[in-house]
Structure 1
Amino acid sequence: MIEVPSRLEGQTFQLYKLEQELEPLGYTIGGNWDYDHGYFDYKLGKEGGYQFLRIPFKAIDGQLDSRSVSVKFGKPFLLAHTYQRGLDDYADAGTFSGIINQFSEPQDKDASFPEEYIEAGKQCVKEVESVLLH
């Protein structure tokens, strides 16, 4: 994980507005949220796994499933996941495990981050700053 200093940190926005502004740029929330916090993710690459820019946020006046909730940004960071090839060593063969555990565990949740994506991630943060902090 590589933290990226940003003027976004500590800024407050309505989540609905953020979704309207960031989704056209390629950011997704997807399954990366809970009722009090979440992440905007931007996939930078797929070199040996996946490289993401992740911008964390926390709800400050309600739950994330409320249309009017406001959120505060945390410090953006770059994250790489390298997934196992082949069978998962920890796969459970129980009756319902195929329904629940469909994906392999990451081989390295904090994999090294390719240099070329570090600068790309920093530029993405600057783009988000220019869109949201104009």
Structure 2
Amino acid sequence: MIPVPSKVEGQVFSLYDLEQRLKPIGYVIGGNWDYDHGSFDYEIDDRVGYQFLRVPFSVVNGQLDDKEATVQLGEPFLLSHKYQRGLDDNVHVGNKTASFDQFSEPVDPDAEFPSEYVDTGKELVQELERTLLS
């Protein structure tokens, strides 16, 4: 994990507004959310695992399933997950089991972040600041 200092840290936004502004430029709400915290993830690469820019947030008012929720952004960071290869190759599952067997566990959930993507991550944070603070 590599922290990327940003002017967005500590800023408070409507979660709905954040979604409307960040989804069009490639961010998704990360799967590891709860009612009081979550993150927006931008996938940088997926050739050897997944490399993300993650922008964490915590709820200031309401809950994440509430359209009126407001959130405070944390410090963005670069994150790498490496997954087991071959687990999903040639797998045939029915509709009933697909929702349970869809993803493999990471081999290394906090893998070393490839140095060639650090500058890309910093550029993404600059774009994030322009999008949210302009």
User: TM-score by structure 2 length?
Assistant: 0.86
Tell me the CA shift for residue 86 of structure 1.
3.5
Which residue identity is paired with 2:78?
L
Gaps spanning 5+ residues in structure 1: where? 89-95
What residue in structure 1 maps to residue 35 of structure 2? Answer: 35
Counterpart secondary structure, 2:58: strand
What residue in structure 2 maps to residue 91 of structure 1? Answer: none
What residue in structure 2 maps to residue 61 of structure 1? Answer: 61
Q: How many equivalent pairs are there?
A: 127
Which residue identity is paired with 1:113?
F
Matches within 5 A, 1:1-134: 1-87=1-87, 100-134=100-134
Greater mean deviation of Cα atoms: 100-109 or 55-64: 100-109
CA RMSD for the aligned pairs? Answer: 1.9
Gaps spanning 5+ residues in structure 2: where? 89-95
What residue in structure 2 maps to residue 93 of structure 1? Answer: none
Which has more strand, going by share of residues?
A: 2
Mapped partners of 2:106, 2:98: distance in 1: 17
Percent sequence identity over aligned pairs: 59
Question: How big is each residue's C-alpha offset from its partner over 1:61-103, in whole Å with a ceiling of 9 and x where there is no partner?
Answer: 1101111111000110100011112459xxxxxxx98763443
Which residue identity is paired with 1:82?
K
Contact in 1 for aligned 2:30/2:38 (Cα 8 Å) = no
Counterpart secondary structure, 2:78: strand
Mapped partners of 1:82, 1:69: distance in 2: 33
Provide closer, same or farther for how the CA distance between residues 67 and 87 of structure 1 changes in structure 2, counting only shifts above 3 A: closer
Tell me the CA shift for residue 20 of structure 1.
0.5
